[in-house]
Structure 1
Amino acid sequence: MQHVLADFSVSISELKKNPSSLLSEASGSPIAILNHNKPTAYLIPAATYEAIMEVVEDYELGKLVEERRAELSDAVTVSLDDL
């Protein structure tokens, strides 16, 4: 059985009827969209999606930094005057 990771859930047919009222009712919380009582999608506010994407980008950037720090022994020392 799949877990529903939202406080609000609606069927696809309910979503089609009046999406604006569902968004208002959820007050910015995620809405699980169910198909045959199984979550098929999550509807989240744009601001929440943007915040999630920032966290993902920060995480990926952190991984890149750690990878490059591990390769520090391969780095070539250059003085600013040589540039």
Structure 2
Amino acid sequence: MMVEPLLAGASISISDFKKNPSAAIAAAEGFPIAILNRNKPSAYLVPATAWAELVDRLEDADLAAIVRARADETPVAATLDEL
């Protein structure tokens, strides 16, 4: 027997989810929901606001990586007209 990690605070069977997706989303109160198929997570439903926050954080992490990669570069003086 293999134990599957559940990466959400709430879960619902796929058959119950199909009956009333809007109610499941509302019941989760803005948090992700694990969609279970035969008691195993098959998907995660992430509300739009949580998804937007996640995308913002990923973009911030990407920008931070660029800053770290360029931290040792020698600055070049330039004017706005030269750009």
TM-score of the superposed pair, with normalisation by structure 1? 0.81
TM-aligned CA deviation for residue 5 of structure 1: 1.6
Higher Rg of the two aligned structures: 1
Following the alignment from structure 1 to structure 2, what is the Cα–Cα distance between the partners of residues 59 and 78?
27
Q: Distance in 1 between matches of 2:8 and 2:31?
A: 8
Structure 1 runs of 4+ aligned residues shifted over 6 Å read none
1:9 deviates by: 0.5
Indicate yes or no: 2:68 matched with 1:50.
no
Gaps of at least 5 residues in structure 1 are none
Q: Percent identity?
A: 42
One of 13, 16, 19 as aligned partner of 1:14: 16
Kindly provide the CA deviation profile for residues 6-55 of structure 1, in whole angstroms up to 9, marking residues without a partner as x. 22111111111111111121111211001121111111210100000000
* Aligned: 1:64 with 2:66: yes
2:54 partner amino acid: I
Q: What is the TM-score normalised by the length of structure 2?
A: 0.81
Q: Which has more helix, going by share of residues?
A: 1
List gaps (5 residues or longer) in structure 2: none
